[in-house]
Amino acid sequence: MRKDNNFDFLRFLFAVFVVLSHAYPLSGTDETQQWIYKMTNGQIVLAQIGLSGFFVISGFFIFQSMERSKSLLQYYKKRMLRLFPALLVLLLITVVVVPFVYTGVGSVFSNSTYLSYLPNNISLFGFQGVIDGVFDTNHYKAINGSLWTIRYEFTLYIVISFLFFIKTKQKLLVVLLALVFILFSVLYLFFMGRFSGSSILGMQGYHILNLGNFFIAGSLLASLKFEKYKSKSLLFILILILILALYFDFYDVIKHLIFSMFIIVLGYTPIKGIKDFGKIGDLSYGIYIYSFFIQQLLMWFFKLNTINLAVYSLLISVVLAYLSWHLVEKKALKYK
């Protein structure tokens, strides 16, 4: 993934977008105050770009990982080694730090929400955002709101694993993924009112259809070997379509296909000074999982404004992400 492409930088950039976007509500400022929200007539915010990009890239490379895997055991081993070691370390750090900011009644060690925080969140599907008595005076009480997306991604890993049994039949793979993409697109565009409020294993219908379809689009493009079609002309056309979609307010209609194509083409169009970004390590996951908790701590102790919160939390998150990659994530991946 770090061979003559821009994906490490893109993932880093998407993580930064999420941090910047979260700085608004966590500092008490509405996300609608973002310049990009105003410029696009309310169609996008930075966190939306970040999450959409993450799921496109994930869908693209997870599909390729499935194709390369010699067995389902190997496939799941790789997926779990990428997600869980860093997540476990983060959760352990969190439960160590939380007692120092606890203001609830009684001992934090007898608080049921404190005791359940780590096991619920390491299970992914038992996502728990709040510990009673922690960050009660912050604008948001959530300890680490970023973790909610991980269960969606892991569920999509499971879904993709079923394709393992037909991975040698490329035409069938393309047809199946195309049909699922079309189905999700139809449900998203025409039946969202019916499904958005529903949930499966705690996952909301809206996010399943939205983030799920970005992931499926990435997998579909991978099955089509879309990297072969990269060109600066295609990149220009996709950028033009996105600009027109935002200007004429129809981005929501075309985003799952056009934005996904744009990310993959951009990723495979090497840019000098950017294509080698991954040499310092893959910091995106660490930034993503640490930043929200850091922002909540900064707000608890210092009550920062939006700009200061964004700057300081980003700097701290990058440092922690660097340590996480070199001390935890990279070492864990050696066991793939």
35-65 pLDDT tens trace:
999 999 999 999 999 999 999 999 999 999 9
Burial of 284 from C-beta contacts in 10 A (0-12 / 13-18 / 19+): buried
Q: Give me the pLDDT at residue 276, please.
A: 83
**In angstroms, rounded to a whole number, what is the distance separating the alpha carbons of residues 91 and 289?**
10
Q: Would the pLDDT of 1 be above 50?
A: no
* Pair 295, 26: CB distance under 8 Å: yes
Does the pTM surpass 0.85? The reply is yes
Q: How do 203-204 and 199-200 pair as beta strands?
A: antiparallel
Vertex 178: Cα angle to 173 and 180 (nearest 5): 100
Model confidence at 176, pLDDT cuts 50, 70, 90, reads: very high
